[in-house]
Every structure is written in C-alpha cells, then in structure tokens.
Amino acid sequence: MLRSYFIENCIEAGTDEAGRGCIAGPVTAAAVILPNYFSNDLLNDSKLLSEKNRFALRPIILKQAISFSVTHIEPIIIDEINILNASLKAMQESVLKLNIIPDHIIVDGNRSLISKGSHANKIGKVFTCEELELIKSIPSTSIIKGDSKYMSIAAASVLAKTYRDDYMDLIHEEFPMYNWKQNKGYPTKEHRAAILKYGITKYHRLTFRLLEDKKIIDEEIQEVKH
C-alpha cells in the first residue's frame, strides 16, 4: 500500500520522470503535491499500470492535487547535458513551476535532486540565481523505487508518463514511419529498422545508440551537422 508522505505535517512534493531509456523524444518529468487525505486504490508506479488505467488516473490526480506541473526536456538539450542531467533538470523545472513552494521533495531513484552538474545551465531554460538558490534550499530525499512506495511520486510518474505519451502521439503524426504512437521512442527492432531505412529526425537523441551498427549512424549524424 502506498504511503501518503515521507515527512509528516509538511507540504511535500513528489517528482519523477519518464523516457530516460528512449532514443527519440523528450525526457519528461512531473512534480505533484497531494493533500494528505488523498487516497486511490488504483494508483501505483506508472510502469505497473495499463495505459487505460494511467489515463483514467490522470484527471483524478489533476483535480485533487494541491499543485502539479510537467516539463519536457527536448533531445537537443539531452545531447548537450546528458540524460541524467536532463532528467534532473526536468524535475527541478517541474518543482519550480509549482504554485506552492514545498517544504520537502521526495524523488524517485538514488540520485539527489541537486548533484554535481545537475543543473547544467547553458541550454534550455536558464535558471536565475534566485531559482537556483530556491531549488537548492528545499530539502529533498531520494527513494529507490519511490514510485511504488509514495503516492505523490506515483502520481508524478503517472503524469510524466501520460503527458510524454501524448507528446509522442503528436510527433508520430509528423513522422509516422517510426511508429512512435506504439513504441513511444524506445529502441524496438521496428524503430531501429525505420531509422536504418529513413534516417534520423530532429526528435532523435544523437548521443544515444540509435542503431546496433554505430558507424552507420555516426556517418549520418555528421551529414546532419554539416
């Protein structure tokens, strides 16, 4: 059974991301502050839920959350600052966009929300000094498998996953040959076969292993850059 909070009697935000292992599309994070009385038997780590249940939960979370936000970090930024930093940046931006400043943040995973280089500040949204100081001033706790332990992290995982799926469905219409509506940008055999046949797009992460034969894709990346 999911727990309501990590620290009692404080405003606590949960944050999580989706799409780290993809080779196309953004990494997406969400931050959610839930009321202490929030309860839902269906809520769980988004990876353990069916697509139908994730999308059924989303309006419930949006309606009952005290505050929530979602952030997409595009492939060009992922390639510039790496996927770990991009994931942390997405979660940091999501926390900053909440309309209430939390007293504490719980983060899914084993990485601190603020770690060395985690707020690479040269591309994408450039944090002001005040924003950097604010995000560093809020205590945070990293929890391994937190999305299956705490409601606010689970809720953030649902929002991150569903909003990222919506994004991939949208860009699927632009490039249907990659079938992102189905694979959501993950490196399936079908996705990689399409890259081999049609090449890469602006939505592909150029620093990722897009094909098993890295030499082929490296040559194409050089053509794109020139």
Q: In 10 A of CB 168, how many CB atoms?
A: 23
> Looking up tokens 């979370």, which residue turns up?
61
| Residues in a beta bridge with 15 | 31, 107
For the chain, what percentages of helix, strand and coil (3-state, to nearest 5) are there?
45, 15, 40
State the pTM of this model. 0.91
The residue written with tokens 């059974």 in the block is 1
Question: What confidence score (pLDDT) does residue 118 get?
Answer: 44
Walking along the chain (226 residues) 10 residues at a time, the average pLDDT comes out as 92 97 98 94 92 97 98 96 94 96 95 65 79 92 95 97 98 98 97 96 96 63 52
d(C-alpha 129, C-alpha 185), whole Å:
34
Whether 79 and 206 have beta carbons less than 8 Å apart is answered as yes
